[in-house]
Structure 1
Amino acid sequence: MSAIAGLFGLVPGWLWAGLMTASILHGCWVGYQRDGAVNGLHDLQAATVKADLARAKTALVANANFRKFEHQQAATAAELENANQIRKQAARDVDGSNRDDVDGLRRDVARLDAAARSGGLPSATAYPRELAASRREAQNARGLFLACAAEYQAMAGAAQLDVIDLGTGVSFANLVQTPAPP
């Protein structure tokens, strides 16, 4: 303790006052810097929160716009599918009408055959072998014609459905490839 008292006696009072003033000023300066750093940290945190809120709001708006776009795409795809089903039904109706026409032709051919058989052609008695051969050839040709007509009709119906499916596929591909609205 006497060493400290001796030290106080060796150093003049004005130096002690200067050291104390310098130490207080240093403490004030450090406190000021600390308060400035804390205030800067708070400002940075507030700016970060504000930026996060703005980013979240933008994400919500973008998500809502994307969902709206998806719903529009789904509605358009449903409309395309409905139009496709309507066109398919129309093609089936036309196909059915064509089948009715073919059936009518078959009935006409059968009626004409029955009339020819029942009427007895005058040459039937004179040339029975030639008549039988001609009749077989006509029946073969008629059978071939009817088979071809039915096959072509089935092919035409299938081709019409393929055209409808292809048109729907192309429309859907164009729909999917359109860019999202900004």
Structure 2
Amino acid sequence: MSAIAGLFALLPGWLWAGLLAASVLNGCWVEHQRDGAKNDLHELQAATAKAESARMQVALLANANFRKFEHQQAAAAAELEHANQVRKQAAEGVDRSNRDDVDRLRRDVARLDAVARSGGLPSAAAYPRELAASRRAAENARRLFLACTAEYQDLASGAQRDAIDLGTGVSYSELVQTPAPKGDGAPP
């Protein structure tokens, strides 16, 4: 103990008081810096939480908009499918009518052939007016058949484009779909 008292006696009191004051000021300065760093950390955490919340809101809005887009696309696809079914039914009716016309033409040719054979002629070629009328009817049926074929091809290409659009939409939804946020407020 006397050694410590001797050490204190070596230096004047004002120097000890200055060292003590410098030590206290240093402690205050360090505490002030620590408090500032804590405040900065809290502000950064609050800003990060706010940015995360804004990001989640944007993601939810984008997801909702995409869902709305999906529903609109599904409704449009359903309308298109319905329109295609209506066209198909109409085309089936026309096709049935065309088959009936062809069958009628065949019966006419067979009847004309029978009449020609009974009259001693080899075929219906002996009746050029009836043959010309049958030929015109056959040409009309062929034109109608070609028009139906073109319409069927247009429907098929439209359906193929719709299938590609639907596949693209599904791929996009799988790409951008985000999980629903948890109810406890914790980030996922």
- TM-score (normalised: structure 2): 0.69
**2:26 is the alignment partner of 1:32:** no
Change (3 A) 1:136 1:107: closer
Do 1:84 and 1:164's aligned partners in 2 also have CA atoms closer than 8 Å?
A: yes
Equivalence for 2:106: 106
Matched residue, 1:165: 156
Distance 1:103 1:136 in 2: 17
**Separation in 2, partners of 1:69, 1:19:** 74
Q: Which fold has the larger relative contact order, with Cα–Cα distance below 8 Å and residues 6 or more apart in sequence?
A: 1
Q: CA deviation at 1:175?
A: 6.7
Larger Rg: 1
> Contact between 2:116 and 2:124, CA under 8 Å: does it hold in 1?
no
- 1:17 is matched with which residue? 17
Q: How does 1:134-149 map to 2 (within 5 A)?
A: 135=123
* Partner of residue 172, structure 2: none
Residue identity in the other structure for 1:28: C
Counterparts in 2 of 1:47-62, with a 5 A limit? 47-62=47-62
How far did residue 174 of structure 1 move?
Answer: 10
**Structure 2: how far apart are the matches of 1:19 and 1:160?**
101
1:76 aligns with 2:76: yes
Q: Which amino acid aligns with 1:88?
A: K
- Aligned partners of 2:15, 2:36: CA distance in 1, in Å? 31
Q: CA offset at residue 137 of structure 1?
A: 7.0
CA distance in 1, matches of 2:61, 2:81: 30
Q: Which residue in the other structure is 2:183 paired with?
A: none
* Residues 88-144 of structure 1: CA deviation (Å, up to 9, x unaligned): 2211211111111121122223333334444x4xxx4xxxxxx44xx3977xxx8xx
Cα displacement (A) at 1:154: 5.7
Unpaired stretches in structure 1, ≥5 consecutive residues: 125-130, 178-182
1:23 positional shift: 0.5
Q: Deviation per CA, 1:17-68, whole angstroms, max 9, x where unpaired?
A: 1111111111011001101101110111111111111111111111111121
Q: Following TM superposition, by how much is the alpha carbon of 1:8 offset from its aligned partner in structure 2, in angstroms?
A: 0.8
Identity of aligned residues (%): 64
Amino acid at match of 1:7: L
Aligned 8 A contact 1:99 1:153 in 2: no
| Higher helix fraction (1 or 2) | 1
Q: Mind listing any 5+ residue stretches in structure 2 that lack a counterpart?
A: 169-188
Counterparts in 2 of 1:95 and 1:167: CA distance versus 1, 3 Å: same
Query: What is the aligned partner in structure 1 of residue 3 from structure 2?
Result: 3
Matches of 1:157 and 1:108, distance apart in 2: 24
Shift of 1:77: 1.9
CA distance in 2 between partners of 1:74 and 1:115 (Å): 60
2:179 alignment counterpart:
none
